Amino acid sequence: MKSVITDGKGKVELKEIRDPQPNSHQCLCRIDACATCTGTDKKLVNGQMAWANKYPAILGHESFGTVIQCGRDVRNIKPGDRFLRPAAAYPWTLLDGYASWMGGFSEYGLVTDTKALQEDNPSAVIHPYCVYQQLIPPEISIEAADATMLVTLKEIASTLRDLDIKFGSKVVVLGTGAVGMSMCYFAKLCGAYPVISVGRRDQPLEDSRKTGADFVINVLHEDMAQKVMEYTQQSGVDFVLDAAGDTGLIMNSGPMLAKYGAICSYAGRTGAEPLAVDSIKGAAHWKYIQGGPDESSAHQYLLDLVRIKAVPLKAFYSHTLPFDEFEAGFQMLIEKQASKIVFTMT
């Protein structure tokens, strides 16, 4: 099968490797589409993720696929079932000599019937990645490319839920990629006002308005703190949400915090140096939160939003390309000609 391989030194290529072989409790999936998680994928390609220490490796984790074959002991999954996050190989395992950094950019992947495995072998160790491999019920009508967006949306929905953003919260979002747009969307669903998007390029900033931003600030031309205070009538914001991993933006966020406000760092930052939180100058009694998702817990919530057509899935990705064009597509991301690409395998 074809898979996207990176050497961790900046190179990506589409290579032919061995198909995954499901065990008796696993299912083989045809992967229908997989989206770039642009920030994470760029860092993985350039060897900038501390936990990604084995290369060459298979990329991709925002995948969506259809079950085509079930192992003999599978009882709770059937051919035709659709799953998020099928993986050519589970993380920290090998396929055909390649490590897996989720392995979704492949033509085929695996999902596991964890319920049957636990029933048959109560002492079995379930791979932690299995919790993300969640079923899309047949009554949920969704295109393959759109379905890949559910991964990021579940991550951000669960993160903002745990921050307790609510009606009247004032929010700044640093970054205008899919994560930043998702943060604007869920902050607005929570009743936040204003929601202010901060970035460096005009078109992505305008795109963020489509998913909830009330105001936008281009930091190349405007003073971020000054504009935020203007948009909040000098009260400051309750939450600064980091979707970019930009240390400079985070460090300059303090002056726009309201009393008891919080800076929440979600995006992974490039580099190993710890953030100098003590050097951030802000209002009295503010706090710094290292955020993180509980993706699987938001699954039903996103299914419900899709069912009632309340989430603009197509707004969160900029391009759809065939899998054979992966190398050219990834170059588009590097050159900022695209923000998030869905590659379709079928």
Compute the average pLDDT of residues 243-272: 82
Structural domains for the chain: 2-148+317-344 (3.90.180.10), 151-290 (3.40.50.720)
Task: Report how far residue 91's alpha carbon sits from residue 127's, in angstroms, rounded to the nearest whole number.
Answer: 9
Question: In the prediction, which pLDDT does 272 show?
Answer: 45
Task: Report how far residue 22's alpha carbon sits from residue 78's, in angstroms, rounded to the nearest whole number.
Answer: 14
Task: Report how far residue 76's alpha carbon sits from residue 97's, in angstroms, rounded to the nearest whole number.
Answer: 31
Q: Is 57 exposed, middle or buried (0-12, 13-18, 19+ CB in 10 A)?
A: buried
Contacts of 214 by beta carbon, 8 Å cutoff, 6+ apart: 193, 194, 195, 196, 231
Given a contact cutoff of 8 angstroms between Cβ atoms, the answer to whether 61 and 85 are in contact is yes
Closest residue by Cα to residue 148 from 3, 319, 336: 319
- Rounded to the nearest 5 percent, the helix, strand and coil shares of the chain are 30, 25, 45
Question: In the prediction, which pLDDT does 268 show?
Answer: 57
Task: Report how far residue 243's alpha carbon sits from residue 12's, in angstroms, rounded to the nearest whole number.
Answer: 24
Question: In the prediction, which pLDDT does 271 show?
Answer: 47
Contacts of 236 by beta carbon, 8 Å cutoff, 6+ apart: 170, 228, 229, 256, 257, 258, 259, 261, 283
Q: How confident is the model at residue 282 (pLDDT cuts 50, 70, 90)?
A: confident
**Phi, then psi, of 218 in degrees rounded to 5:** -95, 110
Given a contact cutoff of 8 angstroms between Cβ atoms, the answer to whether 36 and 340 are in contact is yes
Question: In the prediction, which pLDDT does 187 show?
Answer: 98
Given a contact cutoff of 8 angstroms between Cβ atoms, the answer to whether 110 and 29 are in contact is yes
DSSP 126: P
List, for residues 87-96, the tens digit of each pLDDT value: 999 999 999 9
**Secondary structure element (H or E) that encloses residue 146, with its range:** helix 144-147
Rounded to two decimals, the pTM is 0.93
Question: In the prediction, which pLDDT does 246 show?
Answer: 84
List, for residues 212-246, the tens digit of each pLDDT value: 999 999 999 999 999 999 999 999 999 999 998 88
